[in-house]
Chains A and B, each alone.
Chain A
Amino acid sequence: MLIVGEKINTSRKSVGEAVEKRDVAFIAKVAREQADAGAHYIDVNAGTFVEKEADYLCWLVETVQKEIDLPLCLDSPSPEALSRALELHKGEAMINSISLEKERFQYLLPVITSRPCRVVALCMAETSMPTTLEERVQVGSELIRRLTEGGIPLEKIYVDPLIQPISVDIRMGLASLGAISKIMSDFPGVNTICGLSNISFGLPERRLINRNFLALCVAYGLSAAILDPTDQRLMSTLLTAEMILGQDEYCENFIEAYQNGRIAGE
């Protein structure tokens, strides 16, 4: 499972304040703790600063990559912010995200093909959000087709099935899980990715719901997740699910995490 650490997002109050003050030490610390907890990519999002987003995103790229040696997930719908951030970025960035929304695809495609990168393909249709499993697969397939035609290799594409709350419609869980499974089997080599928190909107005990959803996602074939890697219970659930599904040879990762005191059991 490829892990994208989600914590550097200016919609979180402490991060927003740190970015405004250009607090290098704070941002470096949040980046470092996610890297230490096992993140492969660090997400950076300055979306709350609408007008200054590009400047702040660039500052985040430089600040985080000075501290840690990991690639970043550049999280913005803005072609300008993304192309400027990409220029500063070292290594193979992940772009989060492109979708079929009118204008978004056509403006972002040149940016993501300007240099080698991975791309999150969010299953948002041109004028609406998908609700059923079939609609998700349809939008995901269309995105894969257009991205590969545009020159992006299949294995660099991360389809996000667009998670919607089960509180509003209890069929949403299986719609997303089924879409993950179908896309993974229809396009061998492609990746699937998602965030977890949308699933639990409107319900109590959201973290409990999120981590159980993650375990189910793993069972349905999810290959990457955007999450908080410093959440020990969540990471313990992930390691356990991977082990049970036969993805952890000799149960090595699970046992090692236990021996290092990283498994939150009882």
Chain B
Amino acid sequence: MNDFKALNEAVIKGDHDKAMAETRSAIEAGGNVSDIVDKGLIAAMDEVGERFSKGSMFVPQMLRSAKTMKECMELLQPHFQESEAISKGKVLIGTVKGDLHDIGKNLVSMMMEGAGFTITDLGVDVSPEKFAEEAQKIGPNIVAMSALLSTTMPSMRQTIEALQQAGIRDKVKVMIGGAPVTEKYAQEVNADSYASDAGSAVTKAKKLLGIS
């Protein structure tokens, strides 16, 4: 039985007021906070991602849902116990060196966050050295790279090489994406996965980490 149907629907619709009211009443009813997050919010965002990948939801709707979820998370924050750290995994993300495009990367970050991952966003024009250095510092499960220009795609290969040189290539999974990037290119540069949009980025990330 799903007690969170109303909350799910409010998040999918991006109805802030309704979603926040539902979250509040779930807290007041003494609901388990991780349950509210998992079954109420993340489940809804999973649905959003799926609908987006299928083309039955569109970017503005996805943004609205993500924003709604974020607001609900803020309501829940004070109720978390230390032991209830709910992160599905750590993701280090950025647009590669020489490339200033951030829209696609931001959509992926947002959906990953919505799915329960902890995101560290390095922004745009991120050098291979920076990726490697931050990866050593944070110890992410996934390093995700975006490129929108065919001319900056080689930076992806260089970043993967930098991870290798830093001795951490086998400790992280590498995902890549962006308009000119393909599945074939991901194989060529020895990335672990390619995602074509923000919805499938979440699915692929979960698959990489063996999360259902």
Tell whether A pairs with B: yes
Q: B154 — which chain A residues lie within 8 A by C-beta? A: 50
- Residues of chain B touching chain A, judged by Cβ–Cβ distance below 8 Å, are 55, 58-60, 63, 100-103, 106-107, 124-125, 149-151, 153-154, 179-180
The A interface, classified by DSSP as helix, strand, loop or mixed, is: loop
Q: Mark A105-130, 1 if CB is under 8 A from B, else 0.
A: 00000000000000000001001110
- Asked if residues A202 and B180 are in contact (CB atoms below 8 Å), the reply is no
Min CB distance B95 to A, Å, is 10
Min CB distance B121 to A, Å, is 14
User: Which of A48, A78, A165, A202 has most chain B Cβ within 10 Å?
Assistant: A202
CA distance A124 to B58 in the complex (A): 27
Answer whether residue A204 sits at the interface, using C-beta atoms and an 8 A cutoff.
Answer: yes
User: Which of A128, A167, A170 has most chain B Cβ within 10 Å?
Assistant: A167
Size class of the contact patch on chain A? 20 to 34
Q: A11 — which chain B residues lie within 8 A by C-beta? A: 150, 179-180
Q: B103 — which chain A residues lie within 8 A by C-beta? A: 164-165, 168, 201
Q: B124 — which chain A residues lie within 8 A by C-beta? A: 128
Min CB distance A255 to B, Å, is 38
- Asked if residues A167 and B153 are in contact (CB atoms below 8 Å), the reply is no
- Asked if residues B150 and A48 are in contact (CB atoms below 8 Å), the reply is yes
Answer whether residue A135 sits at the interface, using C-beta atoms and an 8 A cutoff.
Answer: no
CA distance A230 to B118 in the complex (A): 47
CA distance A47 to B58 in the complex (A): 29
Beyond the given A47-B150, A50-B154, please list 6 additional residue pairs across the A-B interface where CB-CB is below 8 A: A48-B180, A77-B149, A127-B125, A164-B103, A204-B55, A204-B58
Min CB distance A20 to B, Å, is 14
Answer whether residue A62 sits at the interface, using C-beta atoms and an 8 A cutoff.
Answer: no
Answer whether residue A203 sits at the interface, using C-beta atoms and an 8 A cutoff.
Answer: yes
The B interface, classified by DSSP as helix, strand, loop or mixed, is: loop
Q: List 9 A-B contacts (CB under 8 A).
A: A47-B149, A47-B180, A77-B151, A127-B100, A127-B125, A128-B124, A129-B102, A165-B59, A203-B58
Q: A78 — which chain B residues lie within 8 A by C-beta? A: 151
Instruction: Give the nearest-CB partner of A81 in chain B.
Output: B151
Q: B151 — which chain A residues lie within 8 A by C-beta? A: 47, 50, 77-78
Q: A101 — which chain B residues lie within 8 A by C-beta? A: 100
Min CB distance B53 to A, Å, is 13
Contact of A203 among B59, B102, B125, B179 (CB under 8 A): B59
- Asked if residues A128 and B59 are in contact (CB atoms below 8 Å), the reply is no
Q: A77 — which chain B residues lie within 8 A by C-beta? A: 149, 151
- Asked if residues A167 and B100 are in contact (CB atoms below 8 Å), the reply is no
CA distance A202 to B101 in the complex (A): 15
Q: Mark A151-168, 1 if CB is under 8 A from B, else 0.
A: 000000000000011011
CA distance A204 to B59 in the complex (A): 10
User: Which of A11, A47, A128, A168 has most chain B Cβ within 10 Å?
Assistant: A168
Given A47-B150, A50-B151, A129-B100 contact (CB < 8 Å): yes
Q: A50 — which chain B residues lie within 8 A by C-beta? A: 150-151, 153-154
Q: B149 — which chain A residues lie within 8 A by C-beta? A: 47, 77
Instruction: Give the nearest-CB partner of A198 in chain B.
Output: B103
Min CB distance B101 to A, Å, is 7
- Asked if residues B180 and A167 are in contact (CB atoms below 8 Å), the reply is no
User: Which of B60, B150, B153 has most chain A Cβ within 10 Å?
Assistant: B150
Q: A168 — which chain B residues lie within 8 A by C-beta? A: 59-60, 63, 103, 106-107
Min CB distance B200 to A, Å, is 15
Given A47-B150, A47-B151, A48-B180, A202-B102 contact (CB < 8 Å): no
Q: Mark A38-49, 1 if CB is under 8 A from B, else 0.
A: 000000000110
- Asked if residues A129 and B101 are in contact (CB atoms below 8 Å), the reply is yes
